[in-house]
Chain A
Amino acid sequence: MTAETGIGARVKRKEDQRFLTGTGRYVDDLPLARATYAYFLRSPHAHAKIKSIDVSAAKSMPGVVEIFTGKDIADAKVGGLICGWVVKDKHGEPHKAPPHPVMALDTVRYVGDTVAMVVAGSHDEAKDAAEAIHVDYDVKPANVDLARAFDKGVPEVHAAEAPGNLIYDWEIGVKADVEAAFAKAAHVTRMDIVNNRLIPNAMEPRAAAAEYDKGTGNYTLWSTSQNPHVLRLILSAFVLGIPEHKLRVIAPDVGGGFGSKIFCYNEETMVCWAASRVGRPIKWTAERAESFMTDAHGRDHVTHAELALDKDHKFLALKVETIANMGAYLSTFSTAVPTYLYATLLAGQYTTPVIYANVKAALTHTAPVDAYRGAGRPEATFVIESIVSKAAAELKVDPAELRRKNFIPSDAFPYQTPVALQYDSGNYPPIIDEAIKIADYKGFESRRAEAKSRGKLRGIGFSSYIEACGLGPSRVIGQLGGGVGQWESAQIKFNPTGNVQVLTGAHSHGQSHETTFAQLVSDKLGIPIETVEVIHGDTATTPFGMGSYGSRSLAVGGSAIMKAADKIIAKGKKIAAHLMEASVADVVFENGNFKVAGTDKTVPLGAAVFAAYVPHNYPLEELEPGMDENAFYDPSNFVYPAGTQICEVEIDPDTGVVEVVNHTAVDDFGNIINPMIVEGQVHGGIVQGVGQALLENAVYDKETGQLLSGSYMDYTMPRADDVPSFKLGNTVTPCPHNPLGVKGCGEAGAIAAPAAVMNAVHDALAPLGVTHVPMPATPLTVWQLIQSAPRAAAG
């Protein structure tokens, strides 16, 4: 059985049966008796004082049950939303923490800020009533321009708590060492980079439903959460004060998150809070326009970077200055993303001996910005891999050679970087070699010439990324200011008849845990995969766990499952020893059977399980009945997947259209449990990376603060025909510190791809004398650059 379904097998996704036949159960699908429907009235202004809110006409509209405003929330002493990661600035002071009320009280700070909640008998009735609410706004000047956020006279978002829009001024590395290295440099490459702002666009919009049981005082909240236990913890401990044991959070089938569903949001908080006041269940599902406006956005950095090289082209030092957009309020993990998930990655795959980074976090009158697929690591990779390729172009050396020359040697692991992280393992040269082979790098110049004969500009680009994921070692997270542990839990619960429920604190919203985790347990315990059911997402049934993000589910959650499986085997051995009248020390476990070495005595695991539940012949004096084990696993380090992507583009100089014609990705994810699922994760990640590089851009109007890219009419999502068929490869350096030897694969594609694509675009346009192309390289942008290029595109 294990060959077809065990570790390494391309097992088809168990969850697809229901997803592809329309029988998944999402929050919006929930049938709740006597349900009411919430609709949120939102600010049409980027910045305004609320002079008054008149709900009297709205209250008498048909179907209206209740209307709540910020004042009701304040009167009820509901806490504000929290930022769960305390970043200390360069003077050791904690970051500025302006209040984040669940509903605006007297000021709105971005278009979409929550102003009132209408609860009615139907969605349409709630919406009708919301239109009848009269809000008198005193519109104030707003700033949506990140680069200007700290300028004198720029409108402040939280003037009292965060003067000058500054949340923190943070640094890592020793500036003087870096300056000294630059003074000795033979060559310095400088670059200004804007990492464009992205809107996550999960297929399922955010949704929440809540029910209050008056008899028991228990609340149930269904939410599209990536981490239901963490959401409950935040709501209980900081926001609503409902004790954890009286609040059950269920995240059922969830249609994608990409980070945006990690956070604790206003709407789910309000829906939960109001359920007891209204006395009927409340449902809310975001409209797509609300998702655009209010899901936490991603990226949005303005960076200046400098790389110093010696005469042999070895990197001497890297200096990075970044302004990171936080939006109008600090979302749950916003502060950590541009610091500990970004600047600590700036060594990349290289031996750069000294690195200094300064990050200033800024408030603007825009939606909150937080983790989005890769979270900080795509930003870091984009800085490093852009500047390395630029240096290669300036020095007229092969970009692959320059990378190779500076790679951390394969025998140098574990490797301590100058920016806090210690890479546990890695072997970079074979990755780039494999990528170069798959991509036929040698044949590129002839492809370029052939493209030229068709009037196209062809370019090639590299991106060699490293990432730290598998979040994470709790002690380290704590030292860095993180407010939670980052271990994961698992429970393996056999039923008397031998089938098994695997409960995990991780959460699957596209990651295929129901398949991968079942493969692990099936392989390890030698039982058919059909007999394994993976359960997640319900705080009442699963052990406390941290959820899924940061490519942690397998490396941390899978490791917890392995630990629980070890306990099952250990207990089974004792039972089997009893049944076989043998000594425990002589019992071995192989392919689902306990055996006494050197004899033909055998007890199948199922028989041991049955004996544990029907303990008629069982060592009850020494052993508890039942077969139900749980485990908690806290990793000793992050995991460090690495890889190289090579992108080839063709540009039509007449229109500026960039076409990705070839894209190769070679990754080292350590051991691979299900190659099909891993390839799917890489495909999706690359597509999101191509989206960032060429298509996606969240644009706010600088005058009015309105979101101009607020629908699919204006926000360009990548589509299947925007990308070629990807060429993938992999190498394996097992992770030395987790039991499976695995690293994470969920974010890698999105981390590496933008630089690969943009380096290819730069390479294609270099013959025209174009030296800098901002992301996204849209047709308009590229065409304008070609128009003003020093050399014409003709020929």
Chain B
Amino acid sequence: MYDFAYHRPKSVADAVALLKGKEEARPMSGGMTLIPTLKQRLARPSDVVDLGGIKELAGIKVEGNNVVIGGMTRHYDVASSADVKAQIPALASLAGHIGDPAVRNRGTMGGSVANNDPAADYPAAVVALNATVTTTTGKHTADDFFKGLFETALGEGELITSISFPKAEKAAYVKFPNPASRYAMVGVFVAKTASGVRVAVTGAGPCVFRVKAMEDALAKNFSSAAIKDIKVPADDLNNDIHGSAEYRAHLVGVMARRAVDAANK
């Protein structure tokens, strides 16, 4: 990796101050994406601001009908949280299937959502549950947050501080892992919350997306039979050595039906 200056602030305010005015400062949460990127010399930050020392960023709280998860909260803590398991078991289960134990003990909610890897699991949960992303400058709705391939609404120096997930009446996430990386080749999160039914797909396209036709059908009849004939067009989906666009389009249907069945269990 290239040389950089390393900082470990104790507060969000200090972190924001450190990120400001540097030519290329990068925040770091668990480093699970950032460190491999540095080691492969794909990034050359002037400064790395480690958020790991900021106590206020980690933790899980229930606030009314929402579960609020701090940006620095590790996947392991989400997966094993009694609150998450009670309020949104699908989210705990999703977190418990990210990567391997080492990754789950280092990787974070904020880092994963900020990175917006097209194959990451959390974005599907954020969108399907209609979560709100709170940052150092304000709040983003889920639909406005994910912009495209590795692209989000985050501005320069803006940090994710927490994400607020509304409690779901019914929800499930079913993932078809990429055989090699075990990231999502197709992951479908289906949720029925106060704001209605949402179906969010990750892994299949360049960015998480919703399947409106399925949402409408499920709003009328929340059963897998209701969506069995709904096909997702393959046109804009990813195509690689593990899965053609057509295969991914097909898997969206299969995973969505399985997710609905799981949510109904």
Contacts and interface: CB of A to CB of B under 8 A. Distances in A.
Given A709-B241, A780-B244, A783-B247, A714 B254 contact: no
Contacts, number: 45
Given A714-B181, A715-B180, A779-B179, A655 B254 contact: yes
A655 B180 contact: no
Contacts of A780: 242-244, 247
B140 interface: no
Interface in B225-252: 240-244, 247, 250-251
Nearest to B183: A713
B246 to A, nearest CB: 9
Contacts of B244: 780, 784
Nearest to A696: B180
A148 to B, nearest CB: 19
Residues of B in contact with A, size category: 10 to 19
Contact of A784 (B178, B180, B247, B251): B247
A695 B179 contact: yes
Interface string A696-722: 010100000000110011111100000
Give the dominant DSSP class at B's interface: loop
Interface string A757-795: 000000000000000000000111001100000000000
A695 B251 CA distance: 19
Given A655-B251, A713-B181, A699 B1 contact: no
A714 B242 contact: yes
Given A709-B241, A780-B242, A780-B247, A716 B254 contact: no
Contacts of A714: 180-181, 240-242
Contacts of A128: 2
A654 interface: yes
A124 interface: yes
A713 B247 contact: no
A697 B41 CA distance: 27
Contacts of A695: 179-180
Given A124-B1, A780-B242, A780-B244, A713 B180 contact: yes
B176 A655 contact: yes
Interface in B192-234: none
A716 B247 contact: no
B191 to A, nearest CB: 22
Contact of A654 (B2, B40, B240, B254): B254
A496 B178 CA distance: 60
Given A124-B1, A708-B241, A714-B241, A778 B179 contact: yes
A8 B5 CA distance: 59
A154 B40 CA distance: 34
Contacts of A699: 241
B180 A716 contact: yes
Interface string A286-297: 000100000000
B180 A712 contact: yes
Nearest to A289: B40
Contacts of A717: 180
Contacts of B247: 656, 779-780, 783-784
A779 B178 CA distance: 10
Contacts of B251: 655
14 contacts: A131-B41, A289-B40, A656-B247, A695-B179, A709-B180, A713-B180, A715-B180, A716-B179, A779-B243, A779-B247, A780-B242, A783-B247, A784-B244, A784-B247
For the complex of A and B, the 7 pairs showing the least CB-CB separation, nearest first, are A716-B180, A713-B181, A716-B179, A654-B254, A714-B180, A780-B243, A780-B247
Interface of B: 1-2, 40-41, 176, 178-181, 240-244, 247, 250-251, 254
Given A697-B241, A779-B243, A783-B250, 11 more contacts: A131-B41, A654-B254, A655-B176, A655-B251, A655-B254, A695-B180, A712-B180, A716-B180, A717-B180, A779-B176, A780-B243
